[in-house]
Structure 1
Amino acid sequence: MLRRYVVLGLAASAIAACSPQSGPRKTGPAVAKGNGVTITADEFKARLDEQSPFIRARYSTLERKKEFLDSLIRFEVLAREAEKQGLANDPDVQLTLKKIMVQKLVQKRFQDQNAAPLPDAELQAYYDQHRDDYVKPKRVRASAIVFNAPEGTPDRAKKTDLAKKALAKVKAEEKTNAMAFAQAVGEFSEDGASKPMAGDLAFKTQAELEQAYGKELASAVFTLKAGETSGVIQGKQGLYIVKVTGQQEEMNRTFDQVKPQISARLSREKKTKEFDDYLKKLRADANVQIDEKVLDGVQIAPAPADGGMMPGMPGMPGMGHPGMGGPMVMPNAPAGRPTATPTRAPAAK
């Protein structure tokens, strides 16, 4: 089975190499030439340039270049023999070529690197509509022990003494007990909303805290650092002891700072929509009809014990297509350039 896939891979790549639309043109002086095999300097450079910079760095000397050239020669003679044996007409080879054509079509139509930039007015409009994504006030997370005692009520003095007692207990115990504040909430707090959550008030802006618990508590919370506990805070509606448990710093990103990010996002969205519309039109033109009865009768083979992994083969373009080994190449997703030579460089000696 492995040998079959190897030959099919070589045949597919050989056909791609013979196509006038695939691979580098055979221009420049020949670095290797034989019976039906020619590798030019330009072709050699193009194949080497396809490797990663780390791999290319290995081939700076003549001996190393000869190693890489040897891999190209081996590939060419095997591909030529595959053609002689008529493998160009093998159904699997034709399917591979069809995958390459689909990838090339998507690249050609939706990956134009010279597309006109989006107008500033459109980018500014997006920024204005999504300003909350780029401009956020500071938010603080705190836990609170709440004593319900509005100003002027008879219980105010009594609750003040109780709050001081609770604070002294927290200060004494939190040095050795990380749960001291939460336990004090359970023992003393009179706020039905936050008490079941160990006094947690969640992340809030200063304005949100002020609206919920008063200006005094909000001001105190925003002067504390994470981990610090306040004294007894005298509020109009009650008394509070708060502990800051987290902070989210202010974010204020200007339009100019996020303009490239917005442009990239809108460009992706536009290309995706163009692709979807284009594919929808092609399907409508094709007038494809589905026979559900036949489809339902297709028997699916169980997965093999080894996971069904197909042996890898250098030289097989990494194609993606629904139902044919992977996801469809989508707009703005850089696709690997189909090559007719091995993508794996020979190991350096």
Structure 2
Amino acid sequence: MGGTRSRLPRRAVRPAPDGPCWARSLVLPEPVVKIRFPAVLLVCAAAGFGCDKRPDGQPGRDRTSVVAGPAAPPQSAEELRAPLAKIDDVTITLGELQERINRQSPYIRARYTSLEQKREFLDSLIRFEVLAKEAARRGLDKDPEVVRTMKQVMIQKLMRDELDAKITADTVTDAEMRAYYEANLAEYVKPEEVRVSAIIVKNRAQAERVALEARGEAGKTNKGFRDLVSRYSQDEDSKLRGGDLRYLDAQTKEVAAPVVKAAFALANTGDVSGVVDAGNGTWYVLKQTGRRKSMTKSFDDAKPAIRNKLFRDKRTAAQKDFVDGLRAGAKIEVNEANLAKVRIDTSQAVDDGHGKDLPPLPMSGSPPVPMEAPEKTGTP
């Protein structure tokens, strides 16, 4: 394998042009053509379902649009329609090649400024079309896997077109974000907290003896203290957790106030208290196991995350309304008797490497991309 790799030309490592996202590995080094995923997906690529969303969540461009540099003069529609290559009945135009290159990142675009590099990019598009046409010639456009994938891609594009028209960056208002922040203030303003474990007994004299032991070698480690809990504690609930009372803040009501006060009085993680009278007939010996500082996140700091959450929520709601409307207008019949006959293999699964790249169910809950709210135009 190593010897084969060394014979590949240097240009084999260049990025693929931007066909459908999952088809970019089709731009392959010469002279070797090696498909790294099911060839049936070529047909979907040939059908023109590309990636209409860039990774930053912005919409894709029309196939004949131009992304020109600041100094580039405008081009006429006739120029953009000029043919560059023809593969049987498929024509690759100047506008298409230009748009494909300009859709790349600035770093990638810089590699395709010379005529030779443009010819190289064009050649990769030709190879893409040749492979797609061969897949179609072999009837792979009717392959069940291709049909399912085609439906999935169509659904994704449908949902993008439907949701992008309704849910934009401006759909989430400052008032909505402020209301969410105020309603969930506990997520953004958190008091100081301490975590302690406790040995709880019902006799002060016993508590004194336990405290002496816990403040010695036996209680120095968390494991040692848990052993003491197991041996002495008379509170079954906390005993099952190794004495853990979890994190407490100064306003905690689930634990007696004297115990909370004593927990905060422990200066360092690992410190063990003396005897604490809970005032309810029980005595505690505490060990601090953790401490969290207070945290306050302002509305401005929380705003980006809140915007994204509300944006996702709105897209999810819009998707549900859209799908519910389609279902209401469709004639749907479910045969419950046959559904009950479906057999599911529940034996232990063995990973055979298949199915990892299968698309999710079309309407499996969360809406398609983008899952981050796009930036408002002109917003700092």
- TM class by shorter chain equals 0.5 to 0.7
2:328 match? 284
Aligned counterparts of 1:287 and 1:173: Cα–Cα separation in 2 = 75
**Is 1:32–2:91 an aligned residue pair?**
no
Larger RCO: 1 or 2 (CA < 8 Å, sep 6+) = 1
Q: Which amino acid aligns with 2:64?
A: R
**Is 1:68–2:111 an aligned residue pair?**
no
Contact between 2:200 and 2:234, CA under 8 Å: does it hold in 1? yes
**SS at structure 2 position matched to 1:116:** helix
**SS at structure 1 position matched to 2:171:** coil
Unaligned runs of 5+ in 2: 1-34, 50-59, 66-76, 372-380
The equivalences for 1:26-175 within 5 A come to 28=79, 32-34=84-86, 38-48=91-101, 63-79=116-132, 98-112=151-165, 114-146=168-200, 148=202, 159=205, 163=207, 165-174=209-218
| Compared CA separation, residues 53 and 307, structure 1 to 2 (3 A) | farther
Moved more, 231-240 or 132-141: 231-240
Q: Which amino acid aligns with 1:117?
A: T
Deviation at 1:41, TM superposition (A): 4.0
1:271 match? 315
Contact between 1:320 and 1:329, CA under 8 Å: does it hold in 2? no
Deviation at 1:61, TM superposition (A): 6.0
Deviation at 1:201, TM superposition (A): 2.4
Aligned counterparts of 1:146 and 1:137: Cα–Cα separation in 2 = 26
**SS at structure 1 position matched to 2:172:** coil
| Compared CA separation, residues 48 and 240, structure 1 to 2 (3 A) | same
Identity %: 34
Moved more, 272-281 or 233-242: 233-242
| Compared CA separation, residues 88 and 242, structure 1 to 2 (3 A) | closer
Contact between 1:103 and 1:319, CA under 8 Å: does it hold in 2? no
Residues 233-286 of structure 1, C-alpha deviations (whole Å, 9 max, x = no match): 566666543210122332322333223322322222222122112212212212
Aligned counterparts of 1:117 and 1:193: Cα–Cα separation in 2 = 49
Contact between 2:190 and 2:295, CA under 8 Å: does it hold in 1? yes
Aligned counterparts of 1:292 and 1:195: Cα–Cα separation in 2 = 49
Aligned counterparts of 1:47 and 1:31: Cα–Cα separation in 2 = 15
**SS at structure 2 position matched to 1:281:** helix
2:268 match? 225
**Is 1:331–2:370 an aligned residue pair?**
no
Unaligned runs of 5+ in 1: 150-155, 313-317, 336-349
Aligned counterparts of 1:320 and 1:187: Cα–Cα separation in 2 = 54
Alpha carbon RMSD of aligned pairs, Å? 4.7
Contact between 2:214 and 2:220, CA under 8 Å: does it hold in 1? no
Aligned counterparts of 1:189 and 1:296: Cα–Cα separation in 2 = 52
Deviation at 1:38, TM superposition (A): 4.2
